[in-house]
């Protein structure tokens, strides 16, 4: 395994059992706005509520710019057999030297609980370790976010520590769990998962 990150020239398409992941486009903005303006989902994801769908232009530009800077990768999540995205998933590089990134994922409420998030996270973690060259992926979730915690455990993440909420903070007042998945700790079954990408 390379000791440096092999950042791609284009966002790679990844194909799994229930979903495929592809580059974000302008067509994904309306679905982004519907998700991002859902107050419960926004709090769980740690994202601010957008004022208007026009902010989707900046949302897309920001992801493209961070990709160009080799700072992050973000995919649209599309259920197999469809062309419309139902969510996004991404990796933000938090340490190039230590080959570490943070996982983020949001799916629209209408598609929660269908296994889509788990399928997408398996694709991204598989790609991250076998092709991108990450050594470790972290994920920070609100302690009360049971769906996200369960998703991470299913994909092989382990609880690293609790990040206590700050009662004096306006934004970070809730307890969070920090989960970690290391390339060395993946089981052979996790490494064999059905990952195909172009």
Ligand X SMILES: CC(C)(COP(=O)(O)OP(=O)(O)OC[C@H]1O[C@@H](n2cnc3c(N)ncnc32)[C@H](O)[C@@H]1OP(=O)(O)O)[C@@H](O)C(=O)NCCC(=O)NCCS
Q: Are 181 and 157 a contacting pair, CB within 8 Å?
A: yes
Q: Between the CA of residue 124 and those of 23, 131, 162, what are the distances in Å?
A: 13, 10, 24
Pairing relation of β-strands 87-95 and 72-79? antiparallel
CB of residue 2 vs ligand X: minimum separation in angstroms? Answer: 28
- The token pair at 10 is 């284009």
CB of residue 117 vs ligand X: minimum separation in angstroms? Answer: 2
Looking at beta carbons only, is 8 or 125 nearer to ligand X? 125
Q: Give the residue, chosen from 112, 175, 185, 196, that forms a contact with ligand X under the rule CB under 6 A.
A: 112
Looking at beta carbons only, is 16 or 56 nearer to ligand X? 16
Does residue 105 touch ligand X according to CB under 6 A? yes
Q: Give the residue, chosen from 114, 131, 190, 197, that forms a contact with ligand X under the rule CB under 6 A.
A: 114
Question: Rounded CA gap, 91 and 101, in Å?
Answer: 6
Does residue 117 touch ligand X according to CB under 6 A? yes
Of 130-159, binders to ligand X (CB under 6 A) are: 139, 141, 145-148, 150-151
Residue position matching structure tokens 């609880």: 159
Residue position matching structure tokens 């791609």: 8
Q: Give the residue, chosen from 106, 132, 137, 181, that forms a contact with ligand X under the rule CB under 6 A.
A: 106
Residue 19: count of CB within 10 angstroms of its CB: 31
Question: Rounded CA gap, 20 and 88, in Å?
Answer: 11
Sequence-ordered list of residues with C-beta below 8 angstroms from that of 168, at least 6 positions apart, any chain: none
- Nearest to 139, CA basis, from 76, 79, 89: 89
Tell me the per-residue interface mask from 35 to 74 with ligand X, x by CB under 6 A, - otherwise: ------x--xx-----------------------------
Q: Give the residue, chosen from 48, 61, 96, 115, that forms a contact with ligand X under the rule CB under 6 A.
A: 115
Looking at beta carbons only, is 6 or 112 nearer to ligand X? 112
Q: Which residues bind ligand X (CB under 6 A)?
A: 41, 44-45, 105-107, 112-118, 139, 141, 145-148, 150-151
């Amino acid at each position: 395994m390379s000791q440096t990150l092999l950042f791609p020239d284009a966002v790679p398409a990844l194909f799994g059992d229930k979903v495929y992941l592809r580059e974000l486009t302008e067509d994904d903005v309306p679905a982004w706005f519907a998700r991002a303006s859902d107050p419960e989902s926004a709090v769980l994801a740690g994202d601010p509520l957008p004022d208007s769908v026009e902010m989707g232009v900046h949302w897309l530009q920001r992801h493209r710019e961070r990709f160009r800077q080799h700072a992050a990768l973000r995919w649209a999540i599309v259920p197999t057999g469809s062309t419309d995205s139902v969510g996004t998933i991404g990796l933000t590089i938090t340490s190039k030297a230590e080959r570490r990134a943070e996982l983020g994922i949001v799916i629209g409420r209408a598609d929660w609980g269908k296994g889509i998030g788990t399928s997408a996270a398996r694709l991204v973690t598989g790609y991250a370790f076998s092709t991108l060259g990450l050594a470790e992926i972290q994920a920070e979730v609100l302690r009360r976010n049971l769906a996200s915690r369960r998703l991470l455990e299913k994909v092989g993440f382990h609880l690293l520590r609790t990040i206590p909420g700050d009662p004096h903070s306006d934004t970070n007042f809730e307890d969070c769990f920090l989960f970690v998945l290391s390339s060395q700790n993946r089981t052979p079954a996790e490494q064999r998962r059905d990952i195909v990408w172009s």
